[in-house]
Amino acid sequence: MRAVFRFLFVIPFGFIAACLAAAFALLSPFLDVGGAGVDPLFWIETGFGFTVQAGQVGSAALVPWGIFMAVTEVLALRSILLHAGAGALGGIAYAGMAYGGAMPQASVRTALVVAGLSFALVYWLVAGRRAGSWRERAPAAPVTSVPPVS
């Protein structure tokens, strides 16, 4: 039952939360909220922009991160450094693939790497730190001292 709950709820929720965190990391440096004040249209546009950006992040990361999630679940790899490294590598790879041979400006590259890191770390917080916990482990046999038989 724990495995069903983990695969139906915890892992998808972790992926969605990670997509939202990456969208925030991508858009927040370029967002000017200084003059927004109480303008409701600004906040509607901003919410729509974050939602669309999260969808784009999710569609770009679904297959590679899905493979990574499957490997970490099967092998019970729970390292935060592994997840952070995969996120940073994913951000760098996405910058290279999205812009072809010409790399974007430094601010865009930085935003993509930070988005990859935030994606990976939020996923690790929600679901990755318990990777492989769904497998039933046999209890260890108790150690008893038996006198030698003559």
Residue 35, pLDDT score: 61
pTM tops 0.85: no
Query: Which tens digit of pLDDT belongs to each residue from 9-59?
Result: 888 888 889 988 988 888 887 777 766 667 778 888 888 888 888 888 888
93: which residues sit within 8 A by CB, 6+ positions away? none
Contact 84, 117 (CB under 8 A): yes
| 83 pLDDT higher than 80 | yes
Contact 128, 72 (CB under 8 A): yes
Do the domain assignments include residue 41?
A: no
- DSSP at 49: H
Mean pLDDT calculated for residue range 66-73: 86
The more confidently predicted of residues 134 and 130 is: 130
CA 112 to chain centre: 13
Query: Which tens digit of pLDDT belongs to each residue from 102-115?
Result: 777 887 888 888 88
Residue 148: exposure state from Cβ atoms within 10 A (0-12, 13-18, ≥19): exposed
**Closest CA relative to residue 22, chosen from 98, 97, 131, 121:** 121
Do the domain assignments include residue 147?
A: no
| 87 pLDDT higher than 70 | yes
Domain limits for position 98: 2-32+47-130
Quote the number of domains for the chain. 1
Residue 85, pLDDT score: 92
Sign of the torsion angle spanned by Cα atoms 93, 98, 102, 108? negative
**Closest CA relative to residue 111, chosen from 21, 12, 42, 29:** 29
Do the domain assignments include residue 141?
A: no
